[in-house]
């Protein structure tokens, strides 16, 4: 029997919580299925949010990769929302007793395009849960596998990596930074103001307050400003590829968040052609620190 991971959190009133790895592992294999349809209104709204001049989407057209995030939205009742704006723990996702929850990265296989008008089904399975000890305290990693299909068959697979962690303390040391690659073929500067973050939150029905509530982000979670959504950065990176190579087909994509980006400063999107069929993509701070690292594999 594994011993429970005991979390001591320094606060004004000292709190002790137990992370029971055996209890959390009971969520592995848990699944849920959702139905939706690829409608045009979210596509037009995301195009505007990304500052694109796309034509009206037409029935039967393929949607860009990652735009599936506009569908299967988390429509939890207001009474089911927790203090951070997410749904309360213990439904589909495990009841991890750590306050910070972040999108650490994702991996994708694009098999068949999703098309405007398609009736689509998403099956989600909790594939793995791991409890670890990091420099800033306990960490819990959860991997969720999503499979989305239409009438023509399986369209894509996604592995979504979620990390849970404790609130920061005064003794925490900042994570080591990584310098960006010295060369990129394309760049685009993004100014992540609160309007951009609100619009993306609204499009994905994401109530997480770290993206839209500055007082909460700064005073409750200790961040310097609003956090730019990981999926938004990933979408912007593939949009950079699309702007510069509009005819390519993406077969696979992966991204990893290395450090958060905030609405307090611009950031730079980069892309670099690699040998073979890969494109390196990354987002960096204006002083050259790597924030999101990604790779697209082309057909």
Please check the confidence at residue 1 and state whether its pLDDT lies above 70.
Answer: no
Q: What is the pTM of this model?
A: 0.89
Cα–Cα distance list, 122 to 113, 157, 232, 237 (Å)? 14, 10, 20, 24
Please check the confidence at residue 229 and state whether its pLDDT lies above 90.
Answer: yes
Structural Rg of the chain based on CA atoms: 20
Please, are residues 298 and 251 in contact by the beta-carbon 8 Å criterion?
yes
pLDDT in tens, 118-171: 999 999 999 999 998 877 788 999 999 999 999 999 999 999 999 998 887 655
Domain boundaries defined on the chain: 5-298
* Helix ranges (DSSP H) in the chain: 21-25, 40-49, 194-203, 214-215, 230-244
Handedness of CA 267, 217, 46, 156 (dihedral sign): positive
Cα–Cα distance list, 113 to 66, 116, 172 (Å)? 11, 10, 44
Q: What is the mean pLDDT of residues 192-209?
A: 96
Residue 72, both tokens: 């299967």
Q: What is the pLDDT of residue 123?
A: 98
Domain boundaries 5-298, CATH class: alpha beta
What value, to the nearest 5°, has the Cα angle with vertex 69 and ends 65 and 70? 110
């Amino acid at each position: 029997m594994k011993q429970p991971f005991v979390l001591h959190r320094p606060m004004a009133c000292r709190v002790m919580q137990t992370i029971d790895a055996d209890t959390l592992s009971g969520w592995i294999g848990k699944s849920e299925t959702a139905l939706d349809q690829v409608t045009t209104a979210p596509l037009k709204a995301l195009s505007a949010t990304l500052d694109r001049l796309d034509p009206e989407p037409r029935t039967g057209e393929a949607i860009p990769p990652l735009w599936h995030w506009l569908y299967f939205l988390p429509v939890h009742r207001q009474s089911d929302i927790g203090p951070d704006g997410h749904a309360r723990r213990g439904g589909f996702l495990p009841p991890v007793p750590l306050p910070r929850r972040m999108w650490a990265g994702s991996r994708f296989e694009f098999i068949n395009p999703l098309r405007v008008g398609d009736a689509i089904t998403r099956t989600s399975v909790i594939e793995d849960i791991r409890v670890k000890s990091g420099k800033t305290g306990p960490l819990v990693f959860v991997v969720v596998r999503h499979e989305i299909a239409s009438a023509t068959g399986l369209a894509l697979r996604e592995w979504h990596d979620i990390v849970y962690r404790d609130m920061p303390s005064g003794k925490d040391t900042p994570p080591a930074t990584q310098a960006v690659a010295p060369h990129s073929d394309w760049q685009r500067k993004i100014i992540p103001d609160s309007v951009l973050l609100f619009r993306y939150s609204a499009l994905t029905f994401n109530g997480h307050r770290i993206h839209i509530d500055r007082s909460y982000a700064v005073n409750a979670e200790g961040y310097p400003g609003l956090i730019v959504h990981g999926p938004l950065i990933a979408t912007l990176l593939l949009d950079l590829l699309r702007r510069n190579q509009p005819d390519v087909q993406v077969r696979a994509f992966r991204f990893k968040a290395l450090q958060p980006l905030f609405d307090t400063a611009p950031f730079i999107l980069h892309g670099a052609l690699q040998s073979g069929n890969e494109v390196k993509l990354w987002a960096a701070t204006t002083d050259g620190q790597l924030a999101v690292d990604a790779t697209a594999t082309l057909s």
